[in-house]
Amino acid sequence: MNYTIRLVIDCPDHKGIIAAVSSFIALHNGNILSADQYVGDPPEPRFFMRLEIESGGFGLGREEFAAAFAPLARQHGMNWRVSYSDRPKRMAILVSKQGHCLIDLLWRWEAGELDAEIPLVISNHDHLAKNTTAHGVAFHHQPVDGGSQREQEQQIKNLLHEHEIDLVVLARYMRILSPEFLDSYERPIINIHHSFLPAFIGANPYRQAHERGVKIIGATAHYVTAELDAGPILHQGVAHISHRDGVEDMVRIGREIERGVLAQAVRWHLEDRVLTDGVRTVIFE
């Protein structure tokens, strides 16, 4: 079956990178289907690149690519990764009581809009078990009540390792993951925050926004880091509101934004369109 090879690169910017990578692919009889590149800001700009290569006729098998590309990567100081479109990433979703983001992701996944495998959903509450299993996805209830957060997070981590998860999505998971968990779990985690960051971090952002009298509210999808709501931003959306909108109105409007913003961020990650540049992201849409 014909599939697409995705090659993603970042390295210090200098002359000849595009030529070198293109020559490597041509040397192995590869056909480039798409190519995007971007150079970051001075004084030490970095070069970012995403390629899609047709598998048909390409002279390197999956098990051969890394060894063949490594010398070129070392020569140019590249960080790089390669993935294959016929091997979808395995995604786990963490959720609490609010199901709008979870249900939206599961619907999009079932409709073929998200190219992933979703073997499980994990929650610290049992409210959304039926919504999850209705989509043929296993639901794991991992409460904190009666135990410690450390024990609960260890159980979560065991499940993620057992199911070989590549990406974790926090779909309104209303607990802060501990620094110990984040340090020990080395896969990317995407969170949806119900605010247009960096405004109104932490709990109750809609109430904070209402008290401040803002005229725009939003939602932000970002990678999770140890600093609360401060990870690299993937996507944001906004909606205009008026003085007539109370907190409940803002929550309702915000849910619409959250669903779309999270789904788009997850889609970009699954398709290897995101590269991080410190606290910023480069996204080849």
Active-site annotation, residues: 229
Q: Give the separation between CA 226 and CA 182, rounded to whole angstroms.
A: 7
DSSP per residue over 201-217, as a string? -SS-HHHHHHHHT-SEE
Q: Which residues contact 205 (CB under 8 A, 6 or more apart)?
A: 193, 194, 195, 199
Q: Where are the alpha helices (DSSP H) in the chain?
A: 17-27, 62-76, 100-110, 129-133, 149-162, 179-184, 205-212, 247-270
Determine the Cα–Cα distance for residues 194 and 104; give it in Å rounded to an integer.
16
- Give 140's strand partners: 122
CA-to-CA separations, 138 to 98, 101, 122, in angstroms, rounded: 18, 17, 9
Q: How many Å apart are CA 244 and CA 141, to the nearest integer?
A: 39
- 12 backbone dihedrals φ, ψ, rounded to 5°: -60, 140
Alpha-carbon distance values, 77 to 23, 25, 47, 108 (Å): 17, 18, 11, 38
Looking from the CA of 49 toward its CB, the CA atoms found within 13 Å total 26
CA distance 66 to 83: 11
